[in-house]
């Protein structure tokens, strides 16, 4: 996962209480303040605000966890409640009209929480340490998200994953998702990861073998387009912690999960 813009670019996230639910094409408040001309939010104070938002605590194993009583958990619960209503509607429609509804989940900080990495790296990013962290396959779940994936599956709504993790990290991602309780459709035909060496033909507009120029939006929207046009599903809900997870169309509804620790364009 490439994280080009870190903590200084997300100063509005806590102020808008993190969780944002919006329809495709709607305005996205608090998306970026990178072009602001006034003095930015003090980074030390912002770090304290992020801790308060997550209810950050250090557990007995030395891992930073989000509190189940935190504002973060409350915002996630509101997103989950709205999403379950959408899944229920899609399931009813599928029953009567014989459609093929699907939901699409990002992985990092949508299903698996990387708060411990963020805290211990002072909200910075290094490719080598991030890869090692992912390979440990021991991230805790984002509260409620694995349950939401299982809920969709139980309702007969197909579950897909659309992640910025690399193909080399597939085994670790599958192992971690199983541990976190998101043990639904973890095969290669449902979990889409970046394969820069051999990109799929449906991304030919921005990726060919040995040449990857896809932006996050191009990659993720292109994958959803493949799910709809090539695989024949209707993506009724798309979940992500970044606006770039959600933009580009090919989803009936988009659900923004809170993440005030980094910003991916």
Residue 23 has pLDDT above 60, yes or no: no
Mean pLDDT for the stretch of residues 218-245: 98
Instruction: Give CA–CA dist 29/21, Å, rounded.
Output: 11
Instruction: Give CA–CA dist 139/120, Å, rounded.
Output: 14
Length of the chain: 265
Please, what is the average pLDDT of the chain?
89
Mean pLDDT for the stretch of residues 26-44: 66
Q: Report pLDDT for 57.
A: 97
Q: Which of 102, 226, 112, 95 is nearest to 163 (CA)?
A: 112
Instruction: Give CA–CA dist 167/192, Å, rounded.
Output: 9
Q: Report pLDDT for 34.
A: 62
Q: What is the pTM of this model?
A: 0.88
Q: Report pLDDT for 37.
A: 81
The answer to whether 120 and 175 have CB atoms below 8 angstroms apart is no
Q: Report pLDDT for 29.
A: 40
């Amino acid at each position: 996962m490439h994280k080009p813009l870190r903590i200084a670019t997300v100063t509005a996230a806590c102020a808008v209480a993190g969780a944002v639910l919006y329809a495709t094409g709607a305005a996205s408040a608090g998306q970026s303040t990178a072009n602001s001309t006034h003095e930015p939010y003090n980074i030390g104070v912002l770090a304290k605000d992020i801790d308060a938002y997550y209810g950050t605590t250090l557990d007995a194993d030395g891992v930073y966890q989000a509190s189940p009583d935190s504002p973060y958990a409350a915002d996630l619960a509101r997103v989950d409640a709205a999403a379950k209503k959408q899944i229920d509607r899609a399931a009813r429609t599928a029953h009567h009209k014989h459609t093929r509804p699907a939901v699409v989940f990002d992985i990092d900080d949508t299903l698996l929480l990387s708060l411990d990495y963020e805290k211990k790296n002072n909200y910075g990013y290094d490719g080598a340490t991030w890869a090692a962290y992912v390979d440990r396959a021991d991230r805790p779940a984002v509260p409620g998200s694995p349950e939401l994936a299982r809920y969709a599956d139980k309702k007969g709504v197909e579950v897909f994953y659309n992640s910025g993790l690399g193909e080399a990290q597939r085994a670790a991602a599958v192992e971690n998702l199983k541990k976190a309780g998101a043990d639904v459709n973890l095969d290669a035909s449902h979990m889409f990861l970046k394969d820069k060496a051999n990109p799929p033909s449906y991304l030919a507009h921005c990726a060919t073998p040995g040449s990857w120029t896809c932006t996050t939006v191009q990659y993720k929207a292109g994958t959803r387009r493949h799910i709809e046009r090539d695989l024949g599903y209707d993506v009724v809900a798309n979940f992500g912690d970044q606006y770039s997870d959600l933009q580009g169309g090919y989803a009936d509804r988009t659900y923004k999960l809170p993440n005030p620790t980094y910003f991916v364009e």
